[in-house]
Chains A and B, each alone.
Chain A
Amino acid sequence: MTRLPASMRRHLGAAAAIGLLLLVLQIVAIVFAPAIAPYSPVDADPLNSLQPPSTAHWFGTDVSGMDIFSRVVFATRINLLISIVAVAGAFAIGVPIGLVIGFYKNPLSSLVMRAFDFIQSFPVFVLGMALVSVLGQEVWNVAIVLAVLFIPMFARLIRAEVLSLRERPFISAARCSGATDLSIMFRHILPNALTPVIVQVSISIGMAILLTAGLSFIGAGVRMPTPEWGLMVSTGAQLMILGVWWVALFPGLAIVFSVLCFALLGDYARAVTDPSAETIS
């Protein structure tokens, strides 16, 4: 941070502040959803279908008369739950794998790396779509599939760090003082290797939100009437052609702000941990 010129630091501060504000808004939406939402997110009201935004329905109503504002607020829960669980899972599995395959140089390690190369060569969305539709279109399956798709990313990042840390003198020192492989890996290498992964966590949550929404949009994810942003956009897709804009607009905006939030926070974390990195500001 200290190496950035003052004007850049100010911009970065503004970007991070917006990111933080959006995060707080989302946490509030998650915790207080029942208090904020004026209507139930899943109860249909056919007499009030497709009402444009008004004081009674801030974001209007959809085809079955459900209040879009209430659904957007409640959807924060399911969208962030899926994304955070997926990224946490990928982190919990990918980090130890990366640590081990970076620490031990043997054919098994390079085989695992080749397997990761290979998984990453599939178009993410295509593989995700196929896996979810094969495993069954449940909320948990979406999270599991995204976690599997993200594991190589985390393992690879950690491995790259471990490869250079492994040769450093403090590792030799630890070994001389009788530390076991396990304690060297987890107590000495891991804390020093985590920085780039922390940045990746934030960016990955944003990616997971986009993928979840995309999967639900094509019908390979969460199903009605569960409030989920991508699914809500898909219910408004046909209406958009007829000029009914509010059904798809608001959940889409929610996706944009949510992903933006994690991108800004990731960018901020990168700027703090790596002063040489190019940032958005």
Chain B
Amino acid sequence: MKSFFSMWRRLPRPLRIILSRVGILVPQMFGVMLVTFILIRLLPGDPTLLLLGNMATPEAIQSLRERLGLNDSIWVQFLHYVGNVVHGDLGTSIFTSNPVLTDLQERAPATLELIVWAMLVTILIGVAVAVAATVRRGGIIDHASRIYGLAAGAIPDFWVALLLIFFLFSLAGIAPAPFGRIDALLTPPQRITGFYTVDSLLTGNWEALGSAAARLALPVLTLTIVNAGALMKLTRTVFGDVYRSDFIRHARACGLPERVIVRSALRNSLPPIITLVGFLFGFLLGAAVLVETIFAWGGLGQYAVQAVTNSDYPALQGFVLVAAAFILLVYMVVDILYEFADPRIKV
């Protein structure tokens, strides 16, 4: 045991950070599976009937009962479920008749592309506005950002999406139609990453790139308007404190240019901002469910809504599992980055 600790201390700090955080992920994933397992057990009635639908024959019910191990004890059933998930078997969707994992893999890039772009724009706008408001205290941006910060938390994302569609598509006609990720007349770019913007860039398909970027504009704008407020408010608080701290005052007294001062103040405000960005991924994933439905995006969120509408429980269970696992991965990366960004934290 002692030699283990001394070995542990000899490892380079970055490696220790990553290893200790990955270790936490395993029990967390078990917990996620427990929740998704219980979720389906909460359904009133016979799960086989729900999984197979009302038209099921008694033989099909019996064979599914055996396949699901419903005659075993609840713990055996749970272990069975964990075994299936680990082997990539998330069940079969009642609605599409495909394995749920295949369905999810097919749709994941659409959602990821949406939330990654939304996240980038959110960070850019949220941080930029917060910095501008702090540096010019009492200016127009300062006042406007306070009002925006208050209102942003109160606006439902699905309603913002509809307003944007009305003003920019129906009235002004400058935004493309809110139906899908790319113009229906164009063929999507060859699949390399699954991100239409990246793939069309890599293949030099400029027409597809233009269409994909234009289609992204409204949903990304929707998610940004709703989510940048929280990031801006936090950045204001954290950056404001650092900006007024002693070491910044010292830097200014030394005659450093404002640009350098802002940069070093921002560098020191990073840890809490990184944490919030991680949480924002969770919000964005939830918001994507609503926004994708409105823009017929064809991603995971729309799949989940279809699953709810069609009582497609295996698909819903698979989506919740994948969404939670994705968020836990994001949190893990965030924690690791946080410890990298703040060298004072002991691992």
CB distance from B118 to the nearest CB of A (A): 14
Known: A130-B39, A263-B150. A125 touches B316 (CB 8 A): no
Query: Count of A-B contacts with CB under 8 A?
Result: 145
- Which of B264-292 touch A at CB < 8 Å? 282-283, 285-287, 289-290
Closest to B284 in A: A123
Say yes or no: is A60 at the interface (Cβ < 8 Å to chain B): no
User: CB distance B311 to A133 under 8 Å?
Assistant: yes
Q: Which residues of B contact A263 (CB under 8 A)?
A: 150, 153-154
User: CB distance B162 to A240 under 8 Å?
Assistant: yes
Say yes or no: is A126 at the interface (Cβ < 8 Å to chain B): yes
User: CB distance B156 to A126 under 8 Å?
Assistant: no
> Residue A122 contacts which of B289, B294, B327 (CB distance < 8 angstroms)?
B327
Q: Interface size on A (CB < 8 Å)?
A: 49
Q: Which residues of B contact A130 (CB under 8 A)?
A: 39, 316-317, 319-320
SS class, residues of chain B in contact with chain A: helix
Mark contacts of A234-254 with chain B using CB atoms, 8 A cut-off: 1 yes-contact digit, 0 otherwise.
101100111101001100100
Q: Which residues of A contact B146 (CB under 8 A)?
A: 280-281
Q: How far is the CA of A126 from the CA of B307 in the complex (A)?
A: 12
Closest to A229 in B: B156
SS class, residues of chain A in contact with chain B: helix
User: CB distance B154 to A260 under 8 Å?
Assistant: yes
CB distance from A280 to the nearest CB of B (A): 5
Q: How far is the CA of A127 from the CA of B32 in the complex (A)?
A: 11
Closest to B177 in A: A241
Say yes or no: is B55 at the interface (Cβ < 8 Å to chain A): no
User: CB distance A255 to B156 under 8 Å?
Assistant: yes
Mark contacts of B38-59 with chain A using CB atoms, 8 A cut-off: 1 yes-contact digit, 0 otherwise.
0110111000000000000000
Known: A217-B290, A278-B237. A133 touches B308 (CB 8 A): yes
- Which of A208-253 touch B at CB < 8 Å? 210, 213-214, 217-220, 230, 233-234, 236-237, 240-243, 245, 248-249, 252
Say yes or no: is A66 at the interface (Cβ < 8 Å to chain B): no
CB distance from A60 to the nearest CB of B (A): 14
User: CB distance A241 to B156 under 8 Å?
Assistant: no
Say yes or no: is A129 at the interface (Cβ < 8 Å to chain B): yes
User: CB distance B323 to A248 under 8 Å?
Assistant: no
Q: Which residues of B contact A245 (CB under 8 A)?
A: 166
Say yes or no: is B262 at the interface (Cβ < 8 Å to chain A): no
> Residue B170 contacts which of A121, A214, A242, A281 (CB distance < 8 angstroms)?
A242
Q: Which residues of A contact B178 (CB under 8 A)?
A: 241
Q: How far is the CA of A241 from the CA of B317 in the complex (A)?
A: 32
CB distance from B21 to the nearest CB of A (A): 14
Q: Which residues of B contact A240 (CB under 8 A)?
A: 162-163, 165-166, 170
Task: Identify which of B158, B283, B294 gathers the most chain A CB atoms within 10 Å of its CB.
Answer: B158
Q: How far is the CA of A256 from the CA of B165 in the complex (A)?
A: 18
Q: Which residues of B contact A119 (CB under 8 A)?
A: 35
User: CB distance A123 to B285 under 8 Å?
Assistant: yes
Known: A122-B324, A126-B319, A260-B154. A218 touches B42 (CB 8 A): no
Mark contacts of A65-93 with chain B using CB atoms, 8 A cut-off: 1 yes-contact digit, 0 otherwise.
00000000000000000000000000000
- Which of B159-206 touch A at CB < 8 Å? 159, 162-163, 165-166, 169-171, 177-178
Q: What would 10 A/B residue contacts be, using CB atoms closer than 8 Å?
A: A119-B35, A130-B317, A133-B316, A134-B39, A136-B44, A206-B154, A217-B290, A237-B294, A240-B162, A252-B159
